[in-house]
Amino acid sequence: MAELAAMVQFVELEAMIILVIILALIFDFINGFHDTANAIATSVSTRALQPNHAVILVAGCNFFGAMVSTGVAKTIGGGIVSSPNIVDEKVIIAALMGAIFWNLLTWYFGIPSSSSHALIGGLIGAVLISVGLSGLNWQGVGKIILALILSPAIALVTGIIIMNIIFRLFDKSNPHVLNDNFRKLQRVSAAMIAFSNGSNDAQKSMGIITLALFSGGFIAEFEVPMFVKVMCAAAMAIGTATGGWRIIKTVGGKIFKLEPPSGFAADLNSSSVVFGATLLNLPVSTTHVVSGSIMGVGTANRVNAVRWGTARQMVKAWSMTIPITAAIGASAFALVEFVF
């Protein structure tokens, strides 16, 4: 009888793990089409790339970027909770439900919000209601939130610097020739931001799945298995290939009217900031970094050229994301606990 009970418990655990993996891949897919705008909005808005060509380019670069590192995955999986052993599959399912709901809602309204914030908020809420304050690694949470807050501010400042350098170097160039040359360069910079986006964003789902596998006893140490890397990279690439046109309109045209030089500067700056964060094993929001970069290059052109009203709406959505997804994650945990 005891053996039968143990077998049933194992089958239930396996089913929960499979559900975690499915939800994590759905989140990764949504993250892909939600964040496609980050990589192609500038090149599409300046007509450096045709939308369909841009999406194919970005999807491929997203996939390869996702395969280069697992440091961010370990930060997500081990830096938020005080111990992976206290987190069960119900907590992770609730966190993913909160993040998926918020991503779909903001995509529907064309708001370029952060998938990173959504996932972290959902996990914080689910852990708080299931385990309590002791379940969170507050030092790790603080470090992650600080990186999320500082990264767009850093992108804004460095965007101003890079744009001013371009002004100095090419101030006497023929505008028509300059635009043509920078459109060609944008094809490279679009690939760079797509690669850096994949290197940071896909790892969040990798971390969640690895956390579930580790806490369920399916892997002996917190190392991301190769099959998890491939699944998450593929899910993000497929999501990217579907496009996120509602958000592309906001990022590409409603913050600042981009020209090829400013579009290149924004992409180059964004890819540097995001990949720098990846090397430091820090999860950042590509959405926020790209938006910060566009505000920076716009400010370098002319402060009042930036549509600060749109920027304020975006910042308001950013500040709401973690509290709202934490509340959704907590509510989702209560629902999951009731169902299972």
Using a 10 angstrom Cβ sphere, with 0-12 exposed, 13-18 middle and 19 or more buried, the burial of residue 200 is: buried
Closest CA to 43 of 57, 29, 30: 57
41 part of a folded domain? yes
Residue 25: the pLDDT is: 93
Of 128 and 34, which is predicted with more confidence? 128
6 part of a folded domain? no
Judged against a pLDDT cut of 70, whether residue 337 lies above it is answered with yes
**pLDDT tens-digit readout, 276-288:** 999 988 888 887 8
Residue 16 has which token pair?
A: 């929960």
**CA atoms of 46 and 103, how far apart (whole Å):** 26
**Residue 172, helix vs strand vs coil:** coil
Using a 10 angstrom Cβ sphere, with 0-12 exposed, 13-18 middle and 19 or more buried, the burial of residue 220 is: exposed
42-46, 178-182, 225-229, 307-311: least confident range: 307-311
Judged against a pLDDT cut of 90, whether residue 26 lies above it is answered with yes
16 part of a folded domain? yes
259 phi/psi in degrees, rounded to 5: -110, 165
107 part of a folded domain? yes
Judged against a pLDDT cut of 70, whether residue 37 lies above it is answered with no
Q: Residue 291: which domain range? A: 12-339
Q: How many domains does the chain have?
A: 1
1 part of a folded domain? no
**Mean pLDDT, range 35-54, rounded to an integer:** 74
Q: Are 156 and 296 in contact (CB under 8 A)?
A: yes
Please state the pTM of the whole predicted model.
Answer: 0.84
Residues of the chain with pLDDT > 90, as a percent, come to 24
Secondary structure letter of residue 81 according to DSSP: B
2 part of a folded domain? no
Of 129 and 145, which is predicted with more confidence? 129
Which residue stretches of the chain are H helix? 2-45, 51-66, 71-79, 89-108, 115-130, 138-170, 175-215, 226-242, 245-249, 260-279, 286-301, 308-339
**CA atoms of 317 and 339, how far apart (whole Å):** 31
3 part of a folded domain? no
**Mean pLDDT, range 315-320, rounded to an integer:** 77
